[in-house]
Amino acid sequence: MVPKPSSSPAQPIPTVADVDRIAALTDPVIRNLRITQCYAELSGVFHERTGAGANWCTFATWASKQAGQTIRREDLIRTVEAVLSADQAIGQALLRLVTLARQLGAKPDTSALQQSVWYELLVTAADRASNAVSRGNRKVFEEIAREFARFMATCGADTEFTQSHLDTFCASLRPGDPPHGQRYLRQAFTHYYQSLFETDPKKQGELRLLANLEVGFHEQTRLQPEIAESLNAATIDGDELKRRLRELLFPAGSWLSRLRLSFLDLFGQTTALDKALDRLVSLVQVQIRSAVTAHLMTMTFPPTIRLRLGHDLTTTFPASLRTLTNPDLRNLLQHIDPTPDSLNQSGAVDWANLPERMHFIADLFRCYHESADLFSPAFTTEQITALRAGQRPEGRL
């Protein structure tokens, strides 16, 4: 449930200096929490200036909040461990391995075997995912949040379209496509600026959706290495896992056990044991990767919407965005949405695949463009106060 404080602290307008200061924080947990709150503040300030409709920072708030769970490793180890423990095929494979080991003279402790190897694998996978997600969280924030803060400082107070202000803002954006160029950011902020002075609500909404998607495309292209790395965090070295299991079954300190194993290896009598090891390793690899991927491919929106990124969206487009007329928006969607004006196949089977990811994001941004719930506070008043004091807040984050 999204926390709703009884009263909100005065909303500051984040500056470029604020963004730089937050991005420089070395504690990944505190940095992520500050990033999430800064996104929420930018989203709110932008919303106050532009009126109805979500902006990119609105969605970034909840994506960053979700990323924080992975960065803090919340529930990840316990969730994956529960999946492994409940898997009947893994249980049977482990029992088969233990039985064969005993026949070969070993005296394995099944519980210790399971806890030692599995826990180490889970911690390693969680650490890898946490590190990759944390780097991506900072990478996007220090670039894009900085541009939102700079845009508000340069153009946010304009009461009439002033080309020189827009030109000043765009002048420092690098030409070319992402990941190195910032052409899509230049286009996005141009469309945001145009929307400030558009009086037709439908045209205004389409301009902002277009801008959100242009920022989103730039962001996702830049994030490609970190996303792929986080999803590969659960990849296990099968040979190393087999070696560890054999060492636990036949400890180096038990010279008689090791001697017997070497003798049996020499005469090819450990084939069944090796097959049992291969079977267990294969099953564990699949389940750990599946569980970690499911954890990473989940997003929560207020008030209680839990989205599975690999599943098709089940909501609908708002009435104002069911039929699109902006030619630039239609052209962009032709490139990133293979099922136009439909939510069919919107789920991203492979989140590491940029086109699949952008298909989901295009429909996500369009479906929730008018959701007022997305402007709910990300943290309670007390938590925000603690964050501003440089402390880790108490309670559910």
Most confident of 117-126, 199-208, 246-255: 199-208
pLDDT at 129 over 50: yes
How many angstroms separate the CA atoms of 263 and 158, rounded?
83
Query: pLDDT tier at 263 (50, 70, 90 boundaries)?
Result: very low
The predicted structure's pLDDT at residue 281: 83
Percent of the chain topping pLDDT 70: 92
Segment 154-198, tens digit of pLDDT: 999 999 999 999 999 999 999 999 999 999 999 999 999 999 999
For the record, the structure tokens of 117 come out as 């190897």
20-24, 42-46, 290-294, 341-345, range with the lowest pLDDT: 290-294
Domain layout of the chain by residue ranges: 16-388
Distance separating alpha carbons of residues 20 and 150, to the nearest angstrom: 12
Give bridge partners of residue 307 from the DSSP assignment.
Answer: 299
8 Å CB contact between 162 and 156: no
pTM: 0.87
Nearest to 59 by CA among 36, 82, 78: 36
In this prediction, residue 3 carries a pLDDT of 41
Buried b / exposed e along 22-35 (16+ C-beta atoms within 10 A) = bbebeebbbbbbbb
In whole numbers, what is the pLDDT of the chain averaged over residues?
Answer: 88
Of all residues in the chain, the percent with pLDDT exceeding 90 is: 62
Residue by residue, DSSP assigns 90-124 as HHHHHHHHHHHHHHTT----HHHHHHHHHHHHHHH
Q: What is the largest CA-CA distance in the chain?
A: 87
The per-residue pLDDT for range 332-379, each reduced to its tens digit, is 999 999 998 999 999 998 899 999 999 999 999 999 999 999 999 999
Termini Cα distance of the chain: 10
Helix ranges, 156-270 (H): 163-170, 183-196, 201-231, 238-249, 255-266
Q: Which residue has the higher pLDDT, 314 or 125?
A: 314
- Residue of 262 and 82 predicted with greater confidence: 82
